[in-house]
Chain A
Amino acid sequence: MPGLGASFGRGAATTFQADLAASDCILIMGSNMAEAHPVGFRFPLEARERGGALIHVDPRFTRTSAMANLYVRIRAGSDIAFLGGIINYIIEHDLWFKEYVLHYTNASRVLSEAFVDAEENSGIFPGLDPDRRAYVKEPGSWNYSLLPDAIGAVRSDRSLEHPLCVFQVMRRHYARYTPEKVSRICGCKREDVVRVAELLCRNSGRERTSAIVYALGWTQHTTGVQMIRAAGIIQLLLGNMGRPGGGIMAMRGHCSIQGSTDVPTLYNLLPGYLSHPDAVPENATLEEYIKHGRGFANARNCSASGFWLEEATLGLWSHIGSFIVSLLKAWYGEAATPDNEFGFQWLPKLDGDYSELPTFFQMHRGGVKGLFLIGQNPAAGAPNAHLNRAALRNLDWLVVRDWFEHESANFWYADPTAGDPKTVKTEVFFLPAATNVEKAGSFTNTERLLQWHEKALDPPGDCRSDSWFVYHLGVRLKRLYTGSTQERDAPIQNLTWDYSRLSPEILPDGSQSMIADEPDAEKVLQEMNGRRVGGELLKAAGELQADGSTACGVWIYTGVFPAEGDNRAHSRNPALNGATYPGWGFAWPANRRTLYNRASADPAGRPWSERKKLIWWDEKESKWTGFDVPDFEVGKPPTYRPAQGALGMDAIAGDAPFILHPDGLGWLFAPFGVRDGPLPTHYEPVESVVKNLLYSTQMNPTARDFHADLNLLAKEIDPEFPCVATTYRLTEHYLSGPMSRFNSWLNELQPEMFFEIDPELAEERGIENGGWAVVRSRRGAIEARAMVTSRMKPLVVDGKTIHQVGVPIHWGYAGETVGAMANDLTSLVTDLNVSMHESKAFSVDIRAGRLGRKAPRAIAAAIRPAGLDAPIPETPEYAQPEGRQQRWGLRRD
């Protein structure tokens, strides 16, 4: 997210999956799209069928590789080196899209004299405090060279020759990432680096576009954010951003995970990517919060960042005042007035990192009393699951809401690695949840698409939806706190909280729902969309005001419900409009399908080519028009140049597509937004088997680990753990198993946990295909069957043979099939930007044999299909030609 946000302005996929069909070349890296997103994969396959090139770069040969024209095997964790090799190739061979780069990126911007690149300093940028593991010294050293004329005025050199201009700094930075060097780091052939680069270059430019697809193979590293930044640099250099068939398709891993960061469930964000206020003077009042803007949160942890304050005054984020005030009005309704800063003081202020990993770390030291676990399974699914289970055992109480009693619900008696259940003092409440077809609501998927889903049937028994639970929890809390005079209870008391239905839901079959008190999800969506206080629903985020006259829950969703009865998330019109499908669901913001689409036209407003046109300037009508909603002010002509001292959107020129950046440009060099460096730099994973061949700094200097006996790390290049492990998904199961390992039809497809290893390693260790093997890391050891396959091959990295071990993540000790947990191997280390862990590259060893521990017990099948002799349910009789023959006394098991 921050990788994309820093490069372009919004932390979300810049295009939509169907657009991949229009690509001339797709690089899938850090993603196993055919296995993890099989339905979306139809589009890259379509691109291949139309004559496009499909490239897959991955440590393993997967079902995606089987479909690719070119597959390149690299060592897990060496992605930045590979991408750096491509950047090096593009620059050295002069293959970048000149007109695009000159006008639409900050290539020409000159950096301040205080900036010293990592190239000259062993891979470290200025301002590093090694004790705090953050870039907090030398404030502003990553800034542009500012001109005194006006806010946001930056020195620039359009000839791109100034030694401190972004382009030259970048060229020097990537000079050492030659294809030869890179191939030694990644374990691939030099020619393959060149081939990938050439394919991308030949398929970029005016007439052709290339796309990059990534997923958790990039994000789950301590350098993940920078991997994405590197892709951003490539796409900007090649001029693919904002263009049909171009862009970066971030493939997020759940049907509504985009929604869970939009709305959000992250502790440090308010809806719409407003930052949650910190407990510091700069966020003490509403006025201060608005003045310092969104960038402040980043800058606090990375004061070397520059240019962040400009975000509050230039570009779209200058409207942050109307966003935050409208949010507060939505939450606190009439109680939010200009006199009390619209209730700003009722928002809690952050004094630390309360994301999942540090929180569970605290929990395992006894620092957390209780926990609500809603649709989450840390006992098996979180990195260093051992530690997570120890953490759960320290809780006083735990409420679990899920479909089945999974590992985090039954850990107190079913964990085979724990001791006597009598020693566990946690009181566990299991509240069964409704499935997605048993409730109405929306998903916001990886392409920012909101799709409404209807309720098909009531959930069985006591199962209830999460909305029902949270809503009624709120109702009871409010009841509990009525009459309290304590200041700290005011937020609960003043929350607007009416989502009740006027009449019970009618189900699709005409019957009435048995759950009379289910909240009305459409009311919630309407609140997210926003309305004039006491008035009609809003149509666009531009209507939001900072004076309290509008209320809006999620400003980026405004437009999804523009009028009563018009739920755009519900629309299902599949018609193609030139290059987009505007009638299918609602894509935020404002139903724009391709972000930054101003860049699909040249600086004069004409499409770069007829073949790749998306939006263009209509001179006669004086507006932008085309196949997509323009991601630009509709009436702003391409010739517009901001006056001196212009603020807000007026500061964005008519040829600056990235309107959320204060300068409207795509950032090759990110002066702020990512806290571990303005340019992607190759570091080895925290646990690595080789030294960093590019710099003397071995790993990301801002990566954090958590010191505990349960979280030991392997030494640097530890001979005890010589293999590289990487974790991944299989199509047949979902995450740690609660949604798939209770289903016989899925269990029979992949019934057991297994490791994937190459035949040479198997022979060396005496492991047979299908035989038992034990994989060990510094955290623990697990046993599973081995799949010996030539799809895995050893790599030669810097002259050394490295073997990789594949570890699927889907098993645990609860379910119809059970098995070892991959996360008993992984560790608790995080990056500084998003507290993301590193389960895609860590060090292990493998041997033949078993552990000799007691094995977990599978439950009896939870779902039993009807069988052959019962009628197919719900199919009308005339469609069941088998007949209704009565039978008795047949042979039956």
Chain B
Amino acid sequence: MSAAEASAAPRIVTKAPPWHTSVAIDLLCSSLAAGLFAVAAIIYLLGDDTDRAVSRVGFALAFPVMIVDLVCLVIDLGDPLRFMNMTRVFKPGSPMSVGVWSIVVFSFISFVCFAISILPLGGRALSFLALGGLPFALVVGNYKGVLFSTTAQPGWSSMRWLGALLSISAGAMGVAVLLAIAALADADHTAAFLREALVWILVLYAIVFVALEREGDRWTRGARRAFPAGMWLTLLVGIIVPLAIALLAPGPDTDCTAALCVIGGSVAFRHVLIKIPHRLGAN
């Protein structure tokens, strides 16, 4: 190729943000924590006492996962010592600002819930906190997708349903983990309805996943060709296998496997997501 032709070749001009593994882990952890908390909150508010016992475990798990998430976020910053700068302003026009503040509030609330859960303390307080923390948890589960789609990156910028997908993924993970916990704790009734919910949520997950697959620009399709393994993992392991398990072989023995599959699929998807702009050759 001569110099002339090299200059005329079409190219991606945007730069990929410097987000790698720690952001992928953050994606996973924030979704997982938000999902756990939200599911736990709904169960706590609407369910009976056995259910509440399960959801207390959910609260107890959410906060430690958030710690991991926070650590990853701080590591990922170019200047970790300046994490506090994020709280200098609140800009609702910036999904990252929305995310930071919702994480701050959510972390606080989930800490209190965590504390209350492991020390067997008052139920009313927990109800209030669960109700109050629920919207924040939902925002935490939601905002990352919008953060990615509100960029100029090839692939991300055309994924209009990414926020919905990540939110649903969070919900699926929350339900799946609590299902496993319910199974391990022999809370069969809780496990039963959780299994039902999981099935329908996975169906919803599949629908939105396929919709996301179909939309997207030429760059995304290129990425998908570059990531066949990742995308298949997500679909198969993350959605189809647990769906099959929940439908065909429901039971306490398979719940853990299903939960692991859901989480595994979510990990795969977030890994692919982070890498899309890098793989496409943005600098």
Q: List the A side residues contacting B78 at CB < 8 Å.
A: 891
A297 at the B interface (CB under 8 A): no
Residues on B close to A: CB < 8 A?
1-4, 6, 78-81
Inter-chain contact B79/A787, CB cutoff 8 Å:
no
Contact sample, A vs B, 12 pairs, CB 8 Å cutoff = A759-B2, A769-B1, A769-B2, A769-B6, A788-B3, A789-B2, A789-B3, A789-B4, A791-B4, A889-B81, A890-B81, A891-B80
CA distance A731 to B1 in the complex (A): 25
Q: List the B side residues contacting A787 at CB < 8 Å.
A: 3
**Quick one: closest B residue to A763, CB to CB?**
B2
Inter-chain contact B4/A790, CB cutoff 8 Å:
yes
Chain A contact-residue range equals: 10 to 19
CA distance A243 to B4 in the complex (A): 42
**Quick one: closest B residue to A787, CB to CB?**
B3
CA distance A769 to B7 in the complex (A): 12
Inter-chain contact B2/A790, CB cutoff 8 Å:
yes
CA distance A787 to B80 in the complex (A): 44
Q: List the B side residues contacting A769 at CB < 8 Å.
A: 1-3, 6
New A-B pairs, 13, CB < 8 Å, besides A768-B1, A769-B2, A769-B3:
A759-B2, A762-B2, A769-B6, A787-B3, A789-B3, A790-B2, A790-B3, A790-B4, A791-B4, A889-B81, A890-B81, A891-B78, A891-B79
Between B3, B6, B81, the greatest number of chain A beta carbons within 10 A of the residue's beta carbon is seen for: B3
Residues on A close to B: CB < 8 A?
759, 762, 768-769, 787-791, 889-891
3 smallest beta-carbon distances between A and B, as pairs:
A789-B3, A788-B2, A790-B4
Q: List the B side residues contacting A789 at CB < 8 Å.
A: 2-4
Q: List the A side residues contacting B79 at CB < 8 Å.
A: 890-891
Closest Cβ of chain A: how far from B96's Cβ, in Å?
Answer: 20
Q: List the A side residues contacting B80 at CB < 8 Å.
A: 891
Closest Cβ of chain A: how far from B181's Cβ, in Å?
Answer: 39
Q: List the A side residues contacting B3 at CB < 8 Å.
A: 769, 787-791
CA distance A788 to B78 in the complex (A): 40
**Quick one: closest B residue to A768, CB to CB?**
B1
**Quick one: closest A residue to B1, CB to CB?**
A769
Q: List the A side residues contacting B1 at CB < 8 Å.
A: 768-769
CA distance A890 to B77 in the complex (A): 11
CA distance A890 to B80 in the complex (A): 8
CA distance A369 to B79 in the complex (A): 61
CA distance A465 to B227 in the complex (A): 63
Q: List the B side residues contacting A762 at CB < 8 Å.
A: 2
Q: List the A side residues contacting B4 at CB < 8 Å.
A: 789-791
CA distance A889 to B4 in the complex (A): 46
Q: List the A side residues contacting B6 at CB < 8 Å.
A: 769
Between B1, B2, B4, B6, the greatest number of chain A beta carbons within 10 A of the residue's beta carbon is seen for: B2
Closest Cβ of chain B: how far from A851's Cβ, in Å?
Answer: 23
Q: List the B side residues contacting A791 at CB < 8 Å.
A: 3-4
**Quick one: closest A residue to B80, CB to CB?**
A891
Closest Cβ of chain B: how far from A252's Cβ, in Å?
Answer: 31
Q: List the A side residues contacting B2 at CB < 8 Å.
A: 759, 762, 769, 788-790
CA distance A142 to B2 in the complex (A): 53
Q: List the B side residues contacting A759 at CB < 8 Å.
A: 2
Q: List the B side residues contacting A889 at CB < 8 Å.
A: 81
Closest Cβ of chain B: how far from A98's Cβ, in Å?
Answer: 47
Q: List the B side residues contacting A788 at CB < 8 Å.
A: 2-3
**Quick one: closest B residue to A890, CB to CB?**
B79
**Quick one: closest A residue to B79, CB to CB?**
A890
Q: List the B side residues contacting A790 at CB < 8 Å.
A: 2-4
CA distance A483 to B79 in the complex (A): 73
CA distance A606 to B256 in the complex (A): 106
**Quick one: closest A residue to B6, CB to CB?**
A769
Closest Cβ of chain B: how far from A790's Cβ, in Å?
Answer: 5
Closest Cβ of chain B: how far from A716's Cβ, in Å?
Answer: 33
**Quick one: closest B residue to A889, CB to CB?**
B81
CA distance A890 to B2 in the complex (A): 43
CA distance A768 to B6 in the complex (A): 12
**Quick one: closest B residue to A762, CB to CB?**
B2
CA distance A891 to B80 in the complex (A): 8
Q: List the B side residues contacting A890 at CB < 8 Å.
A: 79, 81
Closest Cβ of chain B: how far from A757's Cβ, in Å?
Answer: 10
CA distance A470 to B146 in the complex (A): 72
CA distance A789 to B80 in the complex (A): 47
Closest Cβ of chain A: how far from B80's Cβ, in Å?
Answer: 8
Closest Cβ of chain B: how far from A791's Cβ, in Å?
Answer: 8
Q: List the A side residues contacting B81 at CB < 8 Å.
A: 889-890
Closest Cβ of chain A: how far from B135's Cβ, in Å?
Answer: 35
CA distance A762 to B78 in the complex (A): 46
CA distance A769 to B2 in the complex (A): 5
CA distance A469 to B2 in the complex (A): 50
CA distance A118 to B106 in the complex (A): 97
CA distance A759 to B4 in the complex (A): 10
CA distance A891 to B79 in the complex (A): 7
CA distance A789 to B1 in the complex (A): 9
Closest Cβ of chain B: how far from A765's Cβ, in Å?
Answer: 14
Closest Cβ of chain A: how far from B75's Cβ, in Å?
Answer: 10
Q: List the B side residues contacting A891 at CB < 8 Å.
A: 78-80
CA distance A889 to B78 in the complex (A): 12
CA distance A791 to B3 in the complex (A): 9
Q: List the B side residues contacting A768 at CB < 8 Å.
A: 1
Closest Cβ of chain A: how far from B56's Cβ, in Å?
Answer: 40
CA distance A834 to B78 in the complex (A): 62
CA distance A146 to B2 in the complex (A): 62
Closest Cβ of chain A: how far from B283's Cβ, in Å?
Answer: 16
Closest Cβ of chain A: how far from B77's Cβ, in Å?
Answer: 9
Closest Cβ of chain A: how far from B106's Cβ, in Å?
Answer: 28
Closest Cβ of chain A: how far from B72's Cβ, in Å?
Answer: 15
**Quick one: closest A residue to B4, CB to CB?**
A790
**Quick one: closest A residue to B2, CB to CB?**
A788
CA distance A827 to B239 in the complex (A): 75
CA distance A19 to B178 in the complex (A): 85
CA distance A769 to B9 in the complex (A): 14
Between A759, A768, A889, the greatest number of chain B beta carbons within 10 A of the residue's beta carbon is seen for: A759
CA distance A182 to B254 in the complex (A): 91
CA distance A791 to B4 in the complex (A): 8
CA distance A889 to B80 in the complex (A): 10
CA distance A531 to B27 in the complex (A): 84
CA distance A835 to B4 in the complex (A): 39
Closest Cβ of chain B: how far from A869's Cβ, in Å?
Answer: 11
CA distance A769 to B8 in the complex (A): 14
Closest Cβ of chain B: how far from A134's Cβ, in Å?
Answer: 46
CA distance A789 to B4 in the complex (A): 6
Closest Cβ of chain A: how far from B21's Cβ, in Å?
Answer: 16
Closest Cβ of chain B: how far from A749's Cβ, in Å?
Answer: 16
CA distance A787 to B6 in the complex (A): 11
CA distance A759 to B6 in the complex (A): 13
Closest Cβ of chain A: how far from B191's Cβ, in Å?
Answer: 46
Closest Cβ of chain B: how far from A767's Cβ, in Å?
Answer: 11
Closest Cβ of chain B: how far from A75's Cβ, in Å?
Answer: 22
CA distance A788 to B79 in the complex (A): 44
Closest Cβ of chain B: how far from A227's Cβ, in Å?
Answer: 30
CA distance A485 to B12 in the complex (A): 81
CA distance A461 to B7 in the complex (A): 46
Closest Cβ of chain A: how far from B272's Cβ, in Å?
Answer: 27
Closest Cβ of chain B: how far from A846's Cβ, in Å?
Answer: 15
**Quick one: closest A residue to B78, CB to CB?**
A891
CA distance A889 to B82 in the complex (A): 12
CA distance A791 to B79 in the complex (A): 47
CA distance A769 to B3 in the complex (A): 7
Closest Cβ of chain A: how far from B58's Cβ, in Å?
Answer: 36
**Quick one: closest B residue to A788, CB to CB?**
B2
CA distance A762 to B1 in the complex (A): 10
Closest Cβ of chain B: how far from A107's Cβ, in Å?
Answer: 48
Closest Cβ of chain B: how far from A400's Cβ, in Å?
Answer: 38
**Quick one: closest A residue to B7, CB to CB?**
A789
CA distance A561 to B14 in the complex (A): 59
CA distance A789 to B5 in the complex (A): 9
Closest Cβ of chain B: how far from A794's Cβ, in Å?
Answer: 14
CA distance A759 to B3 in the complex (A): 9
**Quick one: closest A residue to B5, CB to CB?**
A769
